[in-house]
Structure 1
Amino acid sequence: MSQVTLTNTSLASGTYTATLTNAPGDAPDVAVLFRDVPLSGVEVSPETPGVWTLRARIPEAALSDGIHVFLVIDNASGARLGDFAVIAGDGADDALRTEVELLRAELDLLKRAFRRHCVETSAR
C-alpha cells in the first residue's frame, strides 16, 4: 500500500484543486467530506506517473456566513490527507472558530475509525 500525499493548489471559481502524489499505478481513492458527507463529482485525473490532480466543486451550502471545513481522506486507509476551509461573512474574522471546526471534523473522522476498529476486532 502506497502513501498518498496531498498538496493544496488553489480554490478558485468555486473549485478546489490539489495535487495527489503516490506510487505510479491506479488513481488514489479519495473523498472530500463536507459536514461529514462525501461531495459528489470529485474528479481525480492523471498528470504524470504517480501524480494526480484532484478537483472538487464547492457546494452552494458552503458559500454562506460562517466557517465551512472540508476534509480530504484516503478511502483505502481512512487517513486524513488534508483539509481546507471556506470562510465568509461574519465568521471571516474569527480564526479560532476555524480551528475548532477543523478539530470537530477531525474528531468525527477519528470516532468513525475507532468504531470501525471496534467492530472489526470484536468479530475476531
Structure 2
Amino acid sequence: MPEPSSWILHRTGVTGGTYRGLLTATDESDETPPPLTLVLGGETLGEMTMEAVDGGWQVEGEMGLAPLTDGAQTVFVRLPDGTALDSVTVITGLSAPEDLRAELATLRDEVTLLKKAFRRHVNQI
C-alpha cells in the first residue's frame, strides 16, 4: 500500500483551462512545497506555479486544450514521485450524454446486484 502523502491539495476552481488550488502540508516540518505537474494520459501538460499564502501555497497550472477531446479525459495533479493529489475529468463529444446514461444504467444494475447479495448474506446470519 502506498505511503500517504504529507501534502493535501484542495481544488479552488478550474476556469478557462486553468487549474487552481491550495496546497497544504500535513507535516509542520515541510516548509518547501514539492513541484507539481499536470498530467494527462501519461503526458505532462505542464508545471504548476506556486505562491505562498496564509495556510499554504496557491497553485495554478494551465491544462490547455488537450483535455477537450471526444470522450472522457482525466487530468491529474501529481507529485514528483507520481502520487496523484487531485484529478479533473472532462467529458466532451456528441456521444457524451449517451455514454453517461449507459454508465449510470450499469451502476444501477451493479447496485441492485449488491443489494440482493447483501440481503442474502443478512438472511443467512
1:6–1:67 distance in 2 versus 1, CA, 3 Å: same
List alignment gaps of at least 5 residues for structure 2. 104-125
1:91–1:7 distance in 2 versus 1, CA, 3 Å: farther
1:92–1:30 distance in 2 versus 1, CA, 3 Å: same
Q: Is the 8 A contact 1:67 1:91 kept in 2?
A: no
1:3 aligns with 2:6: yes
List alignment gaps of at least 5 residues for structure 1. 97-124
SS at 1:82's partner residue? strand
CA shift digits 1:76-109 (9 cap, x unpaired)? x43221211112223533344xxxxxxxxxxxxx
Identity rate of aligned residues, in percent? 26
Following TM superposition, the consecutive aligned residue runs of length 4 or more in structure 1 with deviations greater than 6 angstroms are none
Specify which structure has the higher proportion of helix. 1
Q: Distance in 1 between matches of 2:96 and 2:57?
A: 31
- One-letter code of the match for 2:36? V
TM-score, normalised relative to structure 1? 0.63
Query: How far apart are 1:41 and its partner, in Å?
Result: 4.3
Query: Aligned Cα RMSD in Å?
Result: 2.3
